[in-house]
Copies of this chain bind each other. A is one copy, B any other.
Amino acid sequence: MLSNAEENYLKTLLRLTVQSGNKEAGTNELANMLGVKPATANDMLKKLKAKNLVDYERYGKIRLTAAGKKWGIDIVRKHRLWETFLYHKLGFSWDEVHEVAEQLEHIQSAKLIDKLDEFLNFPQYDPHGDPIPSKKGEMKVVYKQTLFDIAPGKHCKMVAVKDNSTTFLKYVVNLGLGLNDKLRVVSKNDFDAQVVIEVDGKKISVSKKFAENIFVI
C-alpha cells in the first residue's frame, strides 16, 4: 500500500520517463511537475528507492523499476477509467473530469476498478483520446504526431490532446474543435508560426503552442 503522495510521484515519473520516451528524469524536473521543492522530491526518492520502486543513485538519473512502472500504469489506468465514467455516465464536461479523477485514482480496491472497467464496457480511450492501460499494464502507444507536424495542404484527424488542463480544454471547445474532427492544414506562417486550419469549411488560425498540444493521425 502506498500513500497518495507516493503514488503521485510514481505517476509523474512515469510521465517523465516511459511516456515521454525520455527514459530518465531529474530531481528538479520531477519536483517542478509535482509542485514541490527539489529537497522534498529528493527525500521521497530515497523512500521510493528503499521500496524498490525507483532506480536511483546519489546525483544520478531517476528511472522507475518494473514494480514502480507497473504501479504508475495502474494509477493512469484508474485515472482514465474514472474520467471515462465521469464523462459518459455522469455527464461531466471534457474539462471537468481531470480534477475529480485526480482524487478518485487513489481509491484502493482492485475489485472496484475491474467492475468499473466492465461497467464502462472495457473502454480503450478516455475522453481526451488517451489510451487506457489494460489490467495487465499494457498501454497503447501514445500518439506522437501533433497538428504542428502536419504539412500545409495535408488532411488529418484530431485524436487526442496533450495538455489536459481546464484552460486549454475550454479553449479547444471554444474554437469549435473536438476529438475525431477532420482537419486540413491550410498554411503555416514562417514569421510567427501561426497555423491556419480548416474544420467543417471554417478556417481558424492557431498558435504553434496550441498546435503542438493537439495529437493527430
Contacts and interface: CB of A to CB of B under 8 A. Distances in A.
Contacts of A171: none
A86 interface: yes
Interface string A158-174: 00000000000000000
Interface in A87-124: 89-92, 96, 99-100, 103-104, 107-109, 111-112, 115-116, 119
Nearest to A99: B109
A153 to B, nearest CB: 43
Interface string A131-168: 00000000000000000000000000000000000000
For the residues of A in contact with B, the DSSP-based class is helix
Contacts of A90: 112, 115-116, 119
A92 B116 CA distance: 11
Contacts of A86: 112, 115
Interface residues of A, number: 18
Given A89-B119, A90-B119, A119-B89, A107 B103 contact: yes
Contacts of A109: 99-100, 103
Nearest to A103: B107
Contacts of A111: 92, 96, 100
Contacts of A91: 115
Contacts of A89: 119
A111 B97 CA distance: 11
Nearest to A106: B103
A215 B116 CA distance: 32
Interface of A: 86, 89-92, 96, 99-100, 103-104, 107-109, 111-112, 115-116, 119
Pairs A-B, 8 closest by C-beta atoms: A90-B115, A100-B109, A103-B107, A100-B112, A90-B119, A89-B119, A104-B107, A91-B115
22 contacts: A86-B112, A86-B115, A89-B119, A90-B112, A90-B115, A90-B116, A90-B119, A91-B115, A92-B111, A92-B115, A96-B111, A99-B109, A100-B107, A100-B109, A100-B111, A100-B112, A103-B107, A103-B108, A103-B109, A104-B104, A104-B107, A107-B107
